[in-house]
């Protein structure tokens, strides 16, 4: 197993060709759970153990809990792969796990099976651990270990099939509505709406719990409710924006006029003749009738003023082979998503391999304002 580190994530090899990563927050979770189990849960359920047993059984339980969450995600990922979805990676973070599946499901049946696979694994684990607990009744330590894992997987499974939208239950609900109404966007809106209502109920329940004297539990519950509500709300917003973009391609929002700059232009000439007069932010650099690069104001800012005379646009431009280019017939919403993902403000648009325009955040915005009229 190859392990590597980057910023906040540790990569842990892969399963079925799907990379596994986990966030450093998981160390906190593992430690916290071990501590709760060793200092509070196990001592109150099973009295009179030596301290070292509370802590070692606590630690093993935490690690197996971690494995359980991982297997839940593997369940989603394996079924998604079966339907030929590209699963970028499985990520474990503070709220649990996520399988990063790049595309939306193609039909209700796919969505149903991919969403249900995770909870199915979790419920199966609950049954297995309860079974192991039953079989190890003679050994109190093993019994405590398996019994807790059975219980936690049962709770996790139930939590996951609740109808909150980012939860599996919300997706299962969307699949069922989608199957019935035959409209993905409407199904998303309805499922997210139910998810919001559900989030408010959880918040209210949390407040009631806090009032009743279980302050920490109540606050935690309200926090989960707030998380569910806002996730469902942002899903509704995204859905509204999608509706605007529906049926539109890059051609509708690109600007057909874009700046052309000959390759033998110096930065000083460029600033004087192009930027100041044409009010554009991005230009295509041309050499003997061929487009060779993209030049943005951002690139120019890197050149100190005293070097403007000696520096050519070709020195600071980004070669076309290295930048993101979009086809004129590409769905507009996809193109905007790609711009957001790669953090770029504009993309040259091509038709049959030739540049025919420029898609930028500004051009998309002005397209959207014309739609509203
Ligand atoms: Zn899940």
Centre of ligand 1 to C-alpha 17, Å, is 19
Centre of ligand 1 to C-alpha 80, Å, is 12
For the cut 70, the answer to whether the pLDDT of residue 101 exceeds it is no
Per-residue pLDDT at 2: 39
Burial grade of 317 (CB within 10 A; 0-12, 13-18, 19 or more): buried
Centre of ligand 1 to C-alpha 116, Å, is 8
Q: What tens digit of pLDDT does each residue of 218-236 get?
A: 888 898 888 888 888 887 8
Centre of ligand 1 to C-alpha 7, Å, is 25
Averaged pLDDT score across all residues of the chain = 84
- pTM for the full predicted model: 0.65
Centre of ligand 1 to C-alpha 218, Å, is 24
Angle formed by the axes of helices 184-211 and 215-245, nearest 10°: 160
Per-residue pLDDT at 94: 59
Centre of ligand 1 to C-alpha 40, Å, is 28
Per-residue pLDDT at 5: 46
Per-residue pLDDT at 127: 97
Centre of ligand 1 to C-alpha 350, Å, is 40
Centre of ligand 1 to C-alpha 302, Å, is 46
Cα–Cα distance measured from residue 111 to residue 171, given in angstroms and rounded to the nearest whole number: 7
* Position 272 confidence tier, pLDDT thresholds 50, 70, 90: confident
Per-residue pLDDT at 363: 84
Percent of the chain having pLDDT more than 90?
Answer: 18
Centre of ligand 1 to C-alpha 62, Å, is 19
* Position 301 confidence tier, pLDDT thresholds 50, 70, 90: confident
Q: Which helix (H) or strand (E) element contains residue 66?
A: helix 51-82
Centre of ligand 1 to C-alpha 25, Å, is 19
Query: Where is mean pLDDT largest: 114-128, 148-162, 343-357?
Result: 114-128
Q: What is the mean pLDDT of residues 298-316?
A: 85
Question: CB–CB of 192/239 below 8 Å?
Answer: yes
Centre of ligand 1 to C-alpha 167, Å, is 7
Between residues 130 and 261, which one has the greater pLDDT? 130
Q: What is the mean pLDDT of residues 266-271?
A: 85
């Amino acid at each position: 197993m190859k392990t590597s580190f980057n910023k906040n994530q540790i990569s842990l090899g892969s399963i079925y060709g799907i990379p596994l990563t986990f966030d450093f927050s998981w160390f906190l979770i593992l430690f916290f759970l071990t501590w709760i189990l060793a200092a509070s849960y196990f001592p109150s359920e099973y009295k009179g153990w030596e301290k070292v047993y509370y802590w070692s059984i606590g630690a093993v339980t935490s690690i197996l809990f971690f494995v359980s969450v991982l297997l839940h995600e593997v369940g989603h990922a394996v079924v998604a792969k079966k339907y030929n979805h590209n699963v970028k990676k499985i990520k474990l973070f503070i709220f649990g796990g996520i399988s990063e599946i790049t595309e939306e499901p193609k039909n209700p049946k796919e969505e149903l099976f991919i969403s249900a696979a995770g909870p199915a694994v979790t419920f199966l684990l609950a049954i297995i651990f309860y079974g192991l607990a039953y079989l190890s009744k003679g050994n109190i330590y093993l019994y405590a270990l398996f019994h807790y894992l059975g219980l936690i997987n049962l709770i996790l499974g139930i939590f996951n099939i609740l109808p909150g939208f980012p939860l599996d239950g919300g997706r299962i609900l969307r699949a069922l509505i989608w199957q019935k109404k035959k409209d993905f966007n409407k199904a998303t809106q309805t499922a997210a709406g139910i998810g919001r209502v559900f989030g408010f109920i959880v918040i209210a329940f949390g407040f009631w719990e806090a009032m009743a004297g279980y302050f920490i539990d109540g606050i935690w519950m309200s926090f989960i409710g707030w998380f569910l509500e806002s996730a469902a709300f942002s899903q509704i917003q995204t859905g509204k924006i999608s509706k605007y973009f529906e049926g539109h391609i890059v051609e509708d929002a690109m600007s057909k006029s874009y700046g052309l700059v000959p390759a033998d232009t110096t930065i000083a000439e460029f600033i004087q003749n192009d930027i100041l007069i044409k009010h554009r932010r991005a230009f295509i650099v041309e050499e003997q009738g061929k487009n060779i690069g993209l030049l943005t104001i951002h690139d120019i800012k890197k050149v100190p003023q005293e070097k403007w005379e000696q520096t050519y646009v070709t020195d600071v431009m980004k070669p076309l082979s290295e930048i993101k280019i979009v086809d004129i017939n590409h769905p507009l919403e996809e193109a905007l998503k790609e711009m957001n993902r790669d953090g770029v403000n504009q993309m040259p648009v091509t038709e049959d391999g030739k540049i025919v325009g420029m898609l930028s955040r500004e051009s998309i915005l002005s397209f959207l304002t014309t739609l509203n009229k």
